[in-house]
A and B are shown apart, each in its own frame.
Chain A
């Protein structure tokens, strides 16, 4: 078996030492740090992206919260405004209604007064006419000239029977 022939043992050990030492030092100093750098860089990049994604998510959530707050606030404000407007309108309407009522009442009472006045006037005219007619009729029939006072007295006593 050639493996047990010691002729080349020293040579084998020597070259093994040379090549393995070279390999070890080269990998230790050159190759492995390179790969380690790449892996580290990639891990950093991943971590960075993850953390920035998290940050963005938090920001998005904050913005959403703000939007919701604003929507709620806007709702409340609108409700308040609607209430205010309704109240204002109601007040306005009621005040206008009351002033309208007043106007109407005044107009009614004015009209009543006018009617009463005109009734009185008419009554006076009717009395005068009655007096005149009575004077003329009495004059024609009896040739007695009656004074106005006498006629009025008679009319007054009989007034109740006209009505």
Chain B
């Protein structure tokens, strides 16, 4: 299979305009374009549908309200009253990942959430923010987060490193989960799309049917991963408030 037809080719970044700032290449790329589309879709939808501010909502307004209530409920379930302050952030994160994944489902459209650097940056923002929040709330006592009460004392030399490692691996697991899901899904779609073309006669219909089914699954995963990203962020925020 030639490199040109590789299933990974869809993840290649193509600059649309070349921009350089202070020696760094910050070209506006297809990835940036997908982000732009995502942000436009979110802001326009959430603004225009609620424009009338009617008490009895239109269908579109209802969708915005449902999303709002969905994340608000998620935050109040996991974090409680403290969570209200982080609602705009968690909501932005959820919508950005969700619509980013959905935009990626449009054929020929780039999926920026399939890039580890993007998901890692998002996860790092969450991780660093939550860690700072933990130190603000508990000061130096935040380190007791790694100390599990009710365990025999001789277990602590083993458990504390495990806790530290699991805490430090949070941004990695958070980012890799999203990245790997998107990567695998889109690669699989591409592989089967290649079968549609390369299989003889009408047998290409079978991989095509599979692609249709897989697209539905991918849309589900797109939502699910955004939800997982949001709910884990909520749980981490909760940990910053409530130590063991």
Contact = CB atoms under 8 A, between A and B. Distances in A.
Interface string A22-66: 111011101110111111011001000000000000000000000
A45 to B, nearest CB: 6
A5 B11 CA distance: 11
B38 A19 contact: yes
Contacts of A31: 43, 46-47, 50, 64
B60 interface: no
Interface in B107-158: 112, 114-118, 121-122
A39 B65 contact: yes
B81 interface: no
B25 A38 contact: no
B29 A12 contact: yes
Contacts of A45: 55
Interface stretch (B83-91, B202-210, B221-229, B232-240): B83-91
A31 to B, nearest CB: 4
Contacts of B117: 3, 9, 12-13
Contact of B118 (A5, A12, A37, A39): A12
A133 B24 CA distance: 182
Contact of B11 (A1, A7, A16, A28): A1
Interface string B45-75: 0110010011101000100110011000000
B163 to A, nearest CB: 30
B31 interface: yes
Given A9-B117, A41-B53, A35 B38 contact: no
Contacts of A24: 88-89, 92
A13 B183 CA distance: 19
A20 B36 CA distance: 9
Interface residues of B, number: 50
A15 B31 contact: yes
B197 interface: no
Interface residues of A, number: 36
Given A11-B25, A27-B91, A42 B55 contact: yes
Contacts of A14: 21, 24, 26
Contacts of B21: 14
Nearest to B31: A12
B179 interface: yes
A2 interface: yes
Interface string A84-116: 000000000000000000000000000000000
A24 B50 CA distance: 18
A27 B87 CA distance: 10
B243 interface: no
Contacts of A16: 35, 112, 118, 121-122
A10 B65 contact: no
B29 A35 contact: no
B55 A10 contact: no
B95 interface: yes
Given A27-B88, A37-B53, A2 B68 contact: no
A1 B61 CA distance: 41
Contact of B50 (A12, A13, A26, A34): A34
Contacts of B89: 24, 28
A8 B36 contact: no
Given A2-B9, A11-B25, 9 more contacts: A7-B13, A8-B31, A9-B117, A11-B27, A12-B112, A16-B122, A27-B92, A27-B95, A28-B92
Interface of A: 1-5, 7-17, 19-20, 22-24, 26-28, 30-32, 34-39, 41-42, 45
13 contacts: A5-B13, A11-B29, A11-B32, A12-B115, A13-B117, A16-B118, A19-B32, A20-B35, A31-B43, A31-B47, A32-B68, A32-B88, A35-B50
